[in-house]
């Protein structure tokens, strides 16, 4: 009996290691490109995948703007990144994506104080219930609307600095997302209800918004030498579930401990989209595992992408 258990345990262990090294592992972004003289903005870069991305880009010599909502958490990240990269051009600038006014102030401040923008990385994301300052559903507001306005306000600067890029971090979860335009128009939200499942579905919907946004943005940027990409970073161990209730935490913790990868892995596909040479013809596309991927029909629906853009403009007071 004991032999059997030990044998079973060893077998499971080997299966796990094989799984970890094959299915779960993400290829590394291999380029050694240096980035001196270039400026990057990364939203939500005080922790998680955004911070790991900021550190890599800092090591390559770029000026990195940490666009974050919490001064203390952001300044501690700035210090960590400076120390670990030896790069002193790491700057915190306040941005709360849950407030259109804050997005506008950030853009104004940035455009006044910084001469360049080479790559904008829309990374911040939440799976938390609540509303933004503008009474927009929080998940929709932070994951899509705030980034939509931020991008639009920075486009002229990106065009001046072309070739330049916009990288928006989505998730494979977009595959189960849908867009309920009626709900967006009447509720300023992607769905009704705040159960754990309801929140997860809103998250999936918001990640479909990220893909559709990138699809439409690419069309609007044709001929400008500004290109844009969206991606799934992988299943990564971060703080994103920190607001989940105890039951969810008890279910999620063993899964993330065993099957989710470290944040360095989560940065790889972002780095690929931001830095890989020769992918300009793939503007508007969705990436995963440092490679372009086919997307579901709903994620390349021209009419839906255009409609989402126009509704987003209206919610931001741009139209």
Ligand X SMILES: *[C@@H]1O[C@H](CO)[C@@H](O)[C@H](O)[C@H]1NC(C)=O
Take residue 192 and report the two structure tokens written for it. Answer: 């009704």
Choices 15-23, 47-55, 220-228, 289-297; region in contact with ligand NAP by CB under 6 A: 47-55
Check if the beta carbon of residue 257 is closer than 8 Å to that of residue 73.
no
User: For residues 58 and 82, what is the distance between their CA atoms, to the nearest angstrom?
Assistant: 8
Check if the beta carbon of residue 43 is closer than 8 Å to that of residue 122.
yes
Residue 61 region, left (φ>0) first, then alpha (ψ -120 to 50), else beta?
left
Q: Cβ 31 to ligand NAP, closest distance in Å?
A: 21
Binds 235, which of ligand NAP, ligand X, none (CB < 5 to 8 A, cut-off by type)?
ligand NAP
- Cis omega (within 30 of 0) on the bond before 211? no
Q: Cβ 225 to ligand NAP, closest distance in Å?
A: 26
Of the pair 70, 301, the CB lying nearest ligand NAP is at: 70
**Residue from 57, 240, 275, 305 that binds ligand NAP (CB under 6 A)?**
240
Take residue 32 and report the two structure tokens written for it. Answer: 């050694």
User: For residues 88 and 142, what is the distance between their CA atoms, to the nearest angstrom?
Assistant: 29
149-208: contacts with ligand NAP (CB under 6 A): 169, 171
Q: Looking at the chain, how many residues does it have?
A: 319
Binds 224, which of ligand NAP, ligand X, none (CB < 5 to 8 A, cut-off by type)?
ligand X
Decide if 20 is catalytic: no
Of the pair 225, 256, the CB lying nearest ligand X is at: 225
Q: What amino acid positions are annotated as catalytic residues? A: 203
Residues that bind ligand NAP (CB under 6 A): 43-44, 46-50, 68-70, 73, 95-98, 123-126, 142, 169, 171, 232-233, 235-236, 238-240
């Amino acid at each position: 009996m004991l032999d059997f258990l030990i044998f079973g345990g060893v077998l499971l262990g080997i299966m796990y290691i094989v799984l970890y090294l094959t299915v779960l592992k993400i290829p590394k972004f291999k380029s050694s490109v240096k980035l001196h003289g270039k400026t990057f903005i990364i939203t939500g870069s005080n922790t998680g995948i955004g911070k790991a991305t900021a550190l890599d880009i800092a090591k390559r010599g770029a000026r990195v703007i940490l666009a974050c909502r919490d001064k203390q958490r952001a300044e501690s990240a700035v210090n960590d990144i400076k120390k670990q990269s030896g790069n002193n051009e790491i700057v915190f600038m306040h941005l709360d994506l849950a407030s259109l006014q804050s997005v506008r102030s950030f853009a104004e401040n940035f455009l006044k104080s910084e001469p360049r923008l080479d790559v904008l990385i829309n990374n911040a994301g939440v799976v938390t219930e609540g509303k933004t300052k503008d009474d927009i559903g929080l998940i929709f507001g932070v994951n899509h609307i705030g980034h939509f306005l931020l991008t639009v306000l920075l486009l002229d600067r990106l065009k001046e600095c072309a070739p330049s890029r916009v990288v928006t971090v989505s998730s494979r979860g977009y595959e189960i997302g849908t867009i309920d335009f009626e709900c967006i128009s009447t509720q300023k939200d992607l769905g009704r209800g705040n159960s754990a499942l309801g929140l997860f579905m809103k998250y999936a919907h918001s990640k479909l918004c990220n893909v559709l946004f990138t699809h439409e943005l690419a069309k609007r940027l044709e001929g400008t030498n500004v290109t844009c990409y969206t991606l799934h970073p992988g299943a990564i161990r971060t703080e994103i579930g920190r607001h989940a209730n105890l039951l969810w935490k008890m279910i999620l913790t063993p899964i993330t401990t065993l099957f989710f990868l470290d944040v360095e892995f989560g940065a790889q596909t972002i780095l690929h989209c931001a830095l890989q040479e020769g992918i300009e013809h793939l503007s508007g596309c969705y990436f995963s595992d440092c490679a372009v991927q086919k997307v579901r029909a709903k994620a390349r629906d021209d009419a839906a992408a255009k409609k989402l853009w126009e509704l987003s403009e209206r919610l931001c007071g741009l139209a």
